């Protein structure tokens, strides 16, 4: 199609999707990724129990039809969210991920667990303890002070605060994982 703006980006994405597809089909010929394969796929090994639980939650949010597998469409949806999703779209996903028990609110324990798991996965040294960080988040965005973050509080509060937005969205570190995969894909395309 013509040279309308964005076509280069679209081409790039199409090309990327093609590579992602190859990687998926090579590593997962059955077309259905189990939790175990998911971890292998993203190079997540030797996880602590906390991190494992976190990655499992991540897996569950990607498994949209709840059949226990990530199929190619779910995989593509997850990737496009990670690679191209807007802030709102991503935050909505994070909220679902952070609300571990699915109660519709994020309580302090859920947030703490998430922060701890993220840190365990990323292995970044942090100045602030996970507890202090969780308290800071609640001080800032638990507007009605009920000790839970509603969807509205989360969406508004996080978007208004650059530090939180950066920490809570970058910290999930799918970007980091995706960078890693992109690295692998680089090698991968050389092999072909
Ligand atoms: Ca599924
Ligand atoms: Ca909850
Ligand atoms: Ca609240």
- The answer to whether 140 and 161 have CB atoms below 8 angstroms apart is yes
| CA 190 / ligand 1 centre spacing (Å) | 31
pLDDT of residue 56: 86
pLDDT along the chain (192 residues), means of 10: 50 65 81 89 79 83 91 83 80 87 94 81 74 94 97 96 81 52 52 44
| CA 6 / ligand 3 centre spacing (Å) | 40
Orientation of helix 87-98 relative to helix 72-84, angle to 10°? 120
The span from the CA of 75 to the CA of 95, in Å, is 19
The span from the CA of 28 to the CA of 75, in Å, is 11
Terminal-residue alpha carbon distance, the chain: 28
pLDDT of residue 68: 95
Beta bridge partners of 33: 70
Q: Decide: helix, strand or coil at residue 150.
A: strand
| CA 103 / ligand 3 centre spacing (Å) | 13
Nearest ligand, CA 98: 2
Domain spans in the chain, listed from the N-terminal domain onward: 9-191
Nearest ligand, CA 104: 2
Token pair, residue 143, equals: 């507007």
Nearest CA-CA partner of 153 in 104, 115, 93: 104
pLDDT of residue 88: 87
The span from the CA of 65 to the CA of 62, in Å, is 9
Collect residues with CB below 5 Å from ion ligand 1: 63, 65, 67, 69
pLDDT of residue 186: 53
pLDDT of residue 17: 66
Fold for the domain defined by 9-191: Recoverin; domain 1 (1.10.238)
pLDDT of residue 2: 43
| CA 101 / ligand 2 centre spacing (Å) | 5
């Amino acid at each position: 199609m013509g040279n309308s703006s964005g076509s280069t980006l679209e081409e790039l994405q199409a090309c990327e999707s093609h590579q992602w597809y190859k990687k998926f089909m090579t590593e997962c010929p059955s077309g259905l990724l189990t939790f175990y394969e998911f971890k292998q796929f993203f190079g997540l090994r030797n996880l602590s129990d906390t991190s494992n639980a976190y990655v499992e939650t991540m897996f569950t949010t990607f498994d949209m039809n709840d059949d226990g597998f990530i199929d190619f469409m779910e995989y593509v949806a997850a990737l496009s969210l990670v690679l191209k999703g807007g802030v709102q779209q991503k935050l909505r996903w994070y909220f679902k991920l952070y609300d571990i028990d699915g109660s519709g609110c994020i309580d302090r324990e859920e947030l703490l667990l998430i922060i701890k798991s993220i840190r365990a996965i990323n292995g970044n040294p942090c100045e602030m303890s996970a507890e202090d960080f969780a308290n800071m988040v609640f001080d800032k965005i638990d507007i009605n002070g009920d000790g839970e973050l509603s969807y509205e509080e989360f969406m508004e509060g996080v978007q208004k605060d650059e530090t939180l937005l950066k920490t809570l969205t970058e910290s999930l570190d799918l970007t980091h994982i995706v960078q890693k995969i992109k690295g692998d894909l680089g090698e991968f395309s050389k092999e072909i």
